[in-house]
Chains A and B, each alone.
Chain A
Amino acid sequence: MLRSLIAAVVRSTLFVVLIPAAAGASPGGPAGESPYRDAVAQYLMGGVETAIDALLSLSDSEVVRESSRFGHERPPTTSEWRVWSRQVRGAILLHTEVWLRRAASRPVEARDIHADVSRTLARLLVTRTAEADLEEPGSDPEFVRDWYLLVAAHQHRTLRVEQSRAHLAEARRQFPGDGRVLLASGADHEVLSAVTRGWVQFRNVAGERMSQERVNQARELQRAAEFYRTAIQARPDLGEARLRLGRVLHRLGDAEAARRELELVQSRIRDPALEYLAAVFLALIEVDRQQHARARDLYAQAARIHPGGYAVLVGMSELAYRTGRPAEAADLMRRLLLRGNDRDPWWGYLLGTSWHVDALRASLSRRMRE
């Protein structure tokens, strides 16, 4: 053991002495070595805007050249790993920050160098982790997995489903069988299922056109259900997968199976947003079954969690309308129409995994410094 330790020290020292020009003394290089590395260092220290400005002051070719050094340098040793991986994480998030900020104002077909670089570095981190002789792989694979989820969530929030499809396919290749990736994949199909007619131009991760397909709601719902079932098999504790599966099954016409899933959410999951939506979705099923008293109880449960919520008011108004109480239906609808409600979890649910954007961003920012 001592002999191997000495050998490792000698090797690293030898590299420092013999190959000083090889992209810095060690993989990652010290700050001050290049404007690019400075930008990454700034970002890691919390200087987000300074880092972004510095990065944007570089040309695309400089960005590509500098970022590719992470991959062209010799793989980091075990002792160097932490520093190197932190820099790569920081670079991934810095490029992603720029990409996602710019995406909103750019046409969907516009290629963004920062999207390409962040993706390349994410793949690199996974590859190097697999190749490295680490005693423990650490949290790098999870970091990259969550990066895929963050990008998908942002794509859902901005309705870029034509790109999220390919992005999540790549995530599944990198992380086969991962419950959260499967959940996001199902949500991707569920987002598209809200559109009942029209065409979609799917694009690959580089933004290039792939297939153009006519939207088929039933097909999207079925694919969503398949992904959710697989996600639940991988992670039975994923309440959101059960919630979504229940909703999708109801929309596919299988009310009994939908009820089972939604009742499981109610009995096992302690998350106000999921409990609220499960109660609303169950109530809609009970209205269909003409079990109006049960529906009323479920809406009351939902209203305790989100009084005045959009979904619960629409549902309660519909129930009153159907059960011959027009005055109550109108009053409930007026309440909804006059107050507006941006905070109902329904809005987040509607946009796939978009409601995870802020939490993922915060988590990744925290973890990039570990």
Chain B
Amino acid sequence: MTHRAAVVAVALLHVAAPQEPFRSSAELVTVDALVTEGRRFVTGLTASDFELLDSGVPQAIRQLYLDELPISVIMVLDTSGSVRGERLTSLRQAALAIVDRLRPDDRAAIVSFSHQLRLREDLTGDRAALRTAIAALDAEGGTGLRDAAFAGFALAARERRRTLLLVFTDGVDTASLLDEDRLLDLARRSEATVYAVGIRDDVPDLRSRMLTRPPRRLVSDARFVRHLAEQTGGRLVHAEQNRDIGPTFERVLSEFHSRYVLGYTPEGVTARGWRPVEVRLVGRKGRVLARPGYFAE
């Protein structure tokens, strides 16, 4: 497809789109999908390049968007005691980089967590307010990672736009009321996409008084946050060191912008509750990363 034709096709698709395309409802289900070939994002695909199955039943893709729609970014940031010092500085810079890359219609929120959760700035397009909130971040206390992730889901629940939940943690959860299985179930019910950023270095975990360094390099709660992200069609990305946190955040945002949004009206599917969804490519190579399903109320 030529560039001009692509622009026309996209414009037509855009005109045909309903006003609030991102609510999975009886009328419309949307699925975020990242297509890669090796390390490269695949762009320029059309609806005919995809096959989408809902509960095993093929569906007609009625809408397809790529990198055009406004987004909300909810940053859920670990500010427990282990994040003090250089790591906190790097985290602030990383969050500021996200704010700097927001587009005019984008919004962002800052939620910080130690054992307590705090909304530093609610969803807003006001960059100055976001920058002020980021500058005020401090680090102390335990790690309520699971409760904080749920806070992100709860705030995202009202959003009628694509929402990226960017969760940063360097430690293991020690303070949450909600357990892992519960959180994974809540993640499956969310329409937000979780990208988790962990850090891989040899700084002792936040309970450093208790935990020793294991024989291998210590990582954050990788297994859990990976599963959490996968429930939403996202993934876990590692920053190797503190100075890599910023570039990693930017890479996450780029990747989120590179995801296709597929919209369809379920046909031939009537079951309530969990519906598995599968997105495949038709006639070409590549890997698709998308949420595994959704809840139909």
Contacts and interface: CB of A to CB of B under 8 A. Distances in A.
A342 interface: yes
A347 B172 contact: no
A194 B122 CA distance: 30
Interface in B212-228: 212-214, 218, 221, 223-224
A347 B180 CA distance: 19
A321 B122 CA distance: 19
Interface in B173-232: 173-175, 177-180, 182, 186, 189, 205, 207, 209-214, 218, 221, 223-224
B111 A326 contact: no
Given A330-B154, A346-B177, A198 B211 contact: yes
Interface in A319-370: 321-322, 324, 326-327, 329-330, 332-334, 336-338, 340-342, 346-347, 350
A7 interface: no
B150 A197 contact: no
B122 A336 contact: no
A159 B141 CA distance: 11
A321 B118 CA distance: 19
A284 B209 CA distance: 31
A170 B157 CA distance: 51
Nearest to A198: B211
Interface of B is mostly: loop
B235 interface: no
Given A326-B157, A327-B158, A333-B155, A198 B205 contact: yes
B186 A321 contact: yes
Interface stretch (A48-56, A230-238, A307-315): A307-315
A314 B186 CA distance: 13
A341 B116 contact: yes
A166 to B, nearest CB: 13
Contacts of B180: 196
Given A195-B172, A330-B157, A200 B210 contact: yes
B115 A337 contact: no
A196 B172 contact: yes
A240 interface: no
Interface string A158-197: 1111100000000000000000000000000000101111
A341 B210 CA distance: 26
Contact of A195 (B155, B182, B207): B207
A199 interface: yes
Nearest to B120: A337
Interface of A is mostly: helix
A108 interface: yes
A314 B150 contact: yes
Interface in B259-277: none
B191 to A, nearest CB: 10
Given A310-B116, A333-B154, A160 B174 contact: no
A337 B151 contact: yes
A342 B142 CA distance: 13
A160 B224 CA distance: 25
Contact of A326 (B116, B118, B158, B172): B158
Contact of B212 (A200, A327, A329): A200
B44 to A, nearest CB: 35
A199 B211 contact: yes
A120 to B, nearest CB: 25
Interface in A258-308: 280, 284
B221 A336 contact: no
Contacts of B116: 310, 340-342
B62 to A, nearest CB: 24
The 9 closest A-B pairs by CB, nearest first: A326-B157, A337-B119, A333-B154, A198-B211, A201-B212, A329-B154, A330-B158, A194-B174, A199-B212
Interface of A: 108, 158-162, 192, 194-201, 212, 214-215, 251, 280, 284, 310-311, 314-315, 317-318, 321-322, 324, 326-327, 329-330, 332-334, 336-338, 340-342, 346-347, 350
Interface of B: 111, 115-119, 122, 142, 147, 150-151, 153-155, 157-158, 172-175, 177-180, 182, 186, 189, 205, 207, 209-214, 218, 221, 223-224, 297
19 contacts: A162-B209, A194-B173, A194-B175, A196-B173, A197-B172, A197-B223, A198-B214, A214-B214, A310-B177, A314-B147, A317-B154, A318-B178, A321-B153, A326-B157, A327-B158, A329-B154, A329-B157, A330-B155, A350-B174
